[in-house]
């Protein structure tokens, strides 16, 4: 038996299992292979659909997350995929599998966090499903969104000579996770955290889906490709590179490093670059834009108070490459968070 690999498995499960005709007949504009699917809806708009799961022990445990955070992040991670299409979120269905030992007060806390996120980003929770689980809690969210016809921002449109941008600091969530796993204290509240660690833990527990940035990018009509960062910069850059059949060159000197991340890395002897490239769960948007449109987008983002960092470019040599401070270029592998690895 060969070993499981997440990306190979998804490819295998879905490779030519349905005819193009059937998908076309059912209005599929973009099926498997992006942050969300796009299907024909009404004349002016298309429906966007995504689902993501959080599993206790894999995505969270009592040392890393409070119950409210689990609910909040389960929806926030789905919102991030809707943002990565440039779409507006609409309706959500929640599926819960609950082990016997969970109390109703814990579930109420999970739902408190879930509704907090839903109300903040104007998502209607319209249903779901509930079952018992043998051991661990599992929360799955299916989220819909709406986008103007044929305007969804795909991974597959990056053009050689584009510049690569990101909408915020990376690596903070992975550093926050590292801190929480080392600390080994159950249900650690934010009030008990020192100020210098709070931004990292907050980035891990309460990621902010980049809804405004996604819409700004779509409405500007100047963004070529877009992806959200759930598995790390390296992995998501590879996804753009593969889908667009181009290469990506990241300039190490241009990668923004949050001062709190730098300070924490100095303290624990870790490299910020490792967490930035391979950590994941940042939920910022990574995309490409032609050089002539960078200034325009930079000023639009600045006016909205949203970060917009240029960190590389699109090249015609396949793969993802990184240039260090001495000008040396090396290839980076598609590593990062991969279930089963």
Binding residues for Mg ion (CB under 5 A): 35, 52, 81, 228, 230-231
* Residue whose C-alpha is closest to residue 285's, from 155, 144, 168: 168
Q: 274 a known binding residue?
A: no
Q: 262 a known binding residue?
A: no
Should residue 195 be labelled a site residue for ligand ADP when binding is judged by CB under 6 A? Answer: no
Should residue 142 be labelled a site residue for ligand TPP when binding is judged by CB under 6 A? Answer: no
Judged by CB under 6 A, which of 38, 48, 60, 208 binds ligand TPP? Answer: 60
Judged by CB under 6 A, which of 71, 145, 247, 280 binds ligand TPP? Answer: 280
Q: Is the separation of the CB atoms in 322 and 252 below 8 Å? A: yes
Site size with ligand TPP, rule: CB under 6 A: 13
Phi, psi of 275 (to 5 degrees): -70, -35
DSSP annotation string for 215-283: HHHHHHT-EEEEEE-SS-HHHHHHHHHHHHT-EEEEEGGGS---HHHHHHHHHHT--HHHHHHHT----
Which partner, ligand ADP, Mg ion, ligand TPP, none, binds residue 281 by CB below 5 to 8 Å per kind? ligand TPP
Residue 135: how many other CB atoms lie within 10 Å: 11
CB of 281 to ligand TPP, least distance (A): 5
Q: 316 a known binding residue?
A: no
d(C-alpha 5, C-alpha 11), whole Å: 10
Should residue 281 be labelled a site residue for ligand ADP when binding is judged by CB under 6 A? Answer: no
- The CA angle 82-88-92, to the nearest 5 degrees, is 65
- Sites of contact with ligand ADP (CB under 6 A): 10, 13-14, 32-35, 52, 81, 230
Interface residues toward ligand TPP, by CB under 6 A: 52, 58-61, 64, 77, 177, 230-231, 280-281, 337
Annotated binding site for substrate: 59, 281, 337
């Amino acid at each position: 038996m060969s070993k499981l690999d997440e990306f190979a498995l998804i490819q295998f499960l879905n490779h030519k299992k349905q005819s193009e005709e059937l998908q076309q007949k059912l209005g599929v504009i973009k099926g498997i292979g992006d942050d969300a699917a796009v299907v024909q809806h009404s004349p002016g708009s298309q429906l966007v659909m995504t689902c993501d799961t959080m599993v206790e022990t894999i995505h969270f445990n009592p040392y890393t997350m409070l119950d409210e955070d689990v609910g909040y992040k389960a929806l926030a991670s789905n919102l991030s995929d809707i943002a990565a299409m440039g779409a507006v979120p609409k309706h959500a269905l929640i599926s819960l599998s609950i082990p016997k030992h969970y109390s109703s007060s814990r579930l109420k806390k999970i739902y408190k966090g879930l509704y907090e996120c839903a109300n903040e980003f104007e998502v209607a929770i319209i249903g779901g499903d509930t079952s018992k689980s043998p051991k661990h809690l599992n929360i799955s969210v299916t989220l819909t969104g709406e986008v103007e016809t044929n305007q969804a921002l795909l991974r597959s449109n990056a053009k050689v000579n584009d510049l690569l941008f990101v909408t915020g600091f990376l690596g903070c969530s992975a550093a926050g996770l590292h801190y929480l796993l080392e600390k080994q204290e159950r249900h650690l509240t934010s009030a008990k955290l020192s100020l210098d660690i709070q931004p990292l833990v907050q980035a891990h527990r309460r990621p902010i889906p980049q809804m405004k940035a996604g819409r700004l990018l779509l409405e500007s009509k100047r963004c070529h490709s877009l992806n959200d960062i759930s598995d790390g910069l390296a992995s998501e850059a590879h996804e753009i590179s593969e889908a667009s059949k181009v290469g990506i060159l990241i300039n190490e000197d241009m990668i923004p490093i949050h001062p709190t991340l730098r300070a924490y890395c100095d303290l624990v002897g870790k490299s910020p670059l490792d967490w930035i490239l391979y950590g994941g769960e940042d939920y910022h948007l990574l995309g490409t834009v032609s050089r002539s449109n960078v200034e325009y987008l930079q000023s639009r983002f600045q006016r909205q108070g949203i970060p917009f960092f240029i960190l590389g470019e699109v090249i015609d040599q396949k793969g993802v490459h990184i240039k260090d401070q001495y000008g040396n270029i090396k290839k980076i592998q598609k590593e990062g968070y991969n279930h089963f690895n």
